[in-house]
Structure 1
Amino acid sequence: MVAEFRTIGLGALHVFHTVARLGGISAAANHLGMAKSGVSRHVAQLEEHFAVRLLERGSRSVRLTPVGRKLDERIQSILAEIDLLGDIAHAERAGVSGQVTIAATPEFGALVAERLFPEVRQRHPDLSLVMRTGYTFEDMQDPNTDLAVRIGSVDDENLVARPIGSFSRWLVAAPQVNATASVKTPYDLKSRPCLTFRGDRPSAAWRLISGKGEAAVEVSGPFAVRNFTILNQLARAGHGIAFLPNFMLDDDLTRGFLVRCLPEWASPATPVFLTFRPGARKVARISAVLDIAQEVLPDLLERR
């Protein structure tokens, strides 16, 4: 049976469907730019192949036989599938284009922009990427935001949340501060100048864990800023001890601008999620960025 069907050309199917749609050999020939004899030959080939009559021929028009109508319905479906294959191939050749807007916290947004954006552009040069930064989670209420990197839990049932890893916060200070602060245990932090992530008062409760156990310490200090980048700058300038996400510390620790205090202690791991609306993967530009983000971002967190 397979060998028999290989003898049916797409051209014959297309010609027959055109005859059926236009209702005549002459009309189909004019539409296709073919001779009437060529159109008749294609129809005759199908009738011979299937050993049935497909057309009732009149003096000026033709009419589909019952089996001809059934066959034409299937041919129409086949031709539509072939058109779809062509559309898929065209889209692949044309590449993915448009704008994708991502929301993230300022610090993680910087990491995403540094590592994810170049990778996306390399694979999809016609894509444009926009980063919106902030610490609130109102981003996905904006229909212009396509994806978001969420820190901590995601409790919105209207979003898809894909875990991509986790990070911890480390205690860091400028070398001279670490040398003079003499922090031997987490509880020594109570009497040391600490830089807190707050926007209302310069005190906070820091929770730390290690192989030795867990500690919760009330700390305070001269400055409180609800921005980890500014806290990093204040720590580098020697104003106190900061409790910062480890993914933003590689360069400062390597170059000696900061050192870890109590290096065996860190915060509990904080999960990171890539979030998007259901159905976002049906949009080619968003799906393309999602695929690369799920490939690249976990590695950025695991290396730390």
Structure 2
Amino acid sequence: MSFHTVARLGGISMAAEHLGVAKSGVSRHVSQLETHLGVRLLERGARSVRLTPIGARLDQRIRSILAEVDLLDDIAREESVGLSGQITIATTPEFGGEVAAVLVPDIRDRYPNLRLVMRPAYAFEDMQDPGTDLAIRVGTFKDDRLIARRLGAFRCWLVVAPSFANKYPITNPDDLADVPCLTFRGDRPVATWTFFAGDEEVAVDVTGPIAVRSFVTLRELALDGQGYAFLPEFMLGDALADGRLVRCLPEHVSRPYPVFLTFRPGARRIARIDAVIGLVEDRVPALLSE
């Protein structure tokens, strides 16, 4: 426990304070573990410590074991009190909103004592946190440590405000190189948009007035008439239906982006997680077109 606490808090002094023991005791416990294993777990500096590669692997395994212990506690608790507690789902910010909109009413109706936490993130490190129960990931999925269920796929569509389309009309993807475009980037306002129309593939280098790593913000900018946007179809329904946005070049779309539900082996032994997995598998595919 001393080693794991040092790894989690980042220092021997903080670990000692957290555990309520002397610094020398924590240091001795870690040294004894290193001697027992025959490897160096920590690189000790003047004011801080950092994990060696083998130390990081050991700490990850310890986290997994502790998560399994928590799982056993959860199983026992749910057997006695029924479905209650918290479910934490990590997902991209935009799709997370869509998922919450379909899950929350069902959860409130069927399992009123369950609480749902949505953790927005674009990175794929979410399931390394034992506090995360499920993750919905977009794109290629490869992780032998997790179970993955493919929920479906979506594509991106090219959209624009009607007034902007009138001012900067286009007739083919190549025209986008000469008009303002809104790009999903966190560094500079340029991108390469790749379109598929049947067997045809077209890549166009675009640029524009702004880049932002948020599809919600890009949609708002498109609604405000600031440029063309290439956005996930699942977040365009209302804006297209009421005419605030129009779809351009509808035969040209992005490649399909697969969506996976992921969770740890054994997670379905916890009744509340199994219940939410069932709801996700039942409701979320309807949000996706493929």
Of 118, 126, 132, which aligns to 2:105?
118
Residues of 1 paired with 2:260 and 2:109: CA distance?
24
Q: 1:210 Cα deviation (Å)?
A: 1.2
User: How is 1:244-255 mapped onto 2 (pairs within 5 angstroms)?
Assistant: 244-255=231-242
Report what 1:19 is aligned to: none
Q: Does 1:257 align with 2:244?
A: yes
CA contact (8 A) 1:100 1:127 kept: yes
- Where does the alignment leave 5 or more consecutive residues of structure 1 unmatched? 1-86
**Which position in structure 2 is the counterpart of 1:8?**
none
State which of 245, 269, 280 in structure 1 corresponds to 2:267. 280
Q: Does 1:222 pair with 2:178? A: no
Aligned partners of 2:90 and 2:104: how far apart in 1?
13
Q: Which amino acid aligns with 1:160?
A: I
Please list the CA deviations of residues 127-172 of structure 1 after superposition, one character each: whole Å capped at 9, or x if unmatched.
Answer: 1110010211121111000001100011221111100000000001
Number of equivalences: 215
1:292 pairs with 2:285: no
How far did 1:211 drift?
2.9
* 2:288 partner SS: helix
- Separation of aligned partners in 2, 1:165 and 1:270: 8
Deviates more, 1:269-278 or 1:133-142: 133-142
> 1:84 — aligned with what?
none
Equivalent residue in structure 2 for 1:163, among 138, 141, 150: 150
Which residue of structure 2 aligns with residue 48 of structure 1? Answer: none
How far did 1:95 drift?
3.6
Q: 1:275-302: CA deviations, max 9, x gaps?
A: 1111111111111100111000011213
2:128 to 106, 120, 141: 141
1:183 alignment partner in structure 2: 170
Q: Secondary structure at the match of 1:218?
A: strand
Aligned CA RMSD, in angstroms, stands at: 1.8
SS at match of 1:108: helix
- In structure 1, the residue matched to 2:187 is 200
Residue 65 (structure 2) aligns with:
none
State how far apart, in whole Å, the 2-side matches of 1:98 and 1:281 are: 15
Give the secondary-structure state (helix, strand or coil) at the position aligned to 1:216.
Answer: strand
Q: Give distance in 1, aligned partners of 2:186 and 2:231.
A: 16
What does 1:231-250 align with in structure 2 at a 5 Å threshold? 231-250=218-237
TM-score by length of 1: 0.68
Which residue number in structure 1 is paired with residue 160 of structure 2? Answer: 173
Shift of 1:122: 1.3
TM-score normalized by structure 2?
A: 0.71
Determine if contact 1:168/1:266 at 8 Å carries over to the other structure.
yes
Q: Any stretches of 5+ residues in structure 2 without a counterpart?
A: 1-74
* Contact 1:95/1:124 (<8 A) preserved: no
Partner of 2:253: 266
Name the aligned partner's letter for residue 251 of structure 1.
D
How big is the shift at 1:91?
4.6
d(CA) in 2 for partners of 1:169 and 1:179? 22
Q: Which of 96, 106, 111 is equivalent to 2:83?
A: 96
Q: Residue 199 of structure 1 aligns to a residue in which SS?
A: coil
Residue type of the alignment partner of 1:228: F
Shift of 1:212: 6.3
Match of 2:141, SS? coil
Are residues 1:150 and 2:131 paired? no
Structure 1 or 2, whichever has the larger Rg, is 1
- What secondary structure, in the 3-state scheme, does the structure 1 residue paired with 2:193 have? strand
Aligned equivalents of 1:234, 1:184: Cα separation in 2: 22
How does 1:38-117 map onto structure 2 within 5 Å? 91=79, 95-117=82-104
SS at match of 1:111: helix
Q: Cα distance, 1:118 vs. partner?
A: 1.3
- How much identity, in percent, do the aligned residues show? 54
Tell me which residue corresponds to 1:77. Answer: none
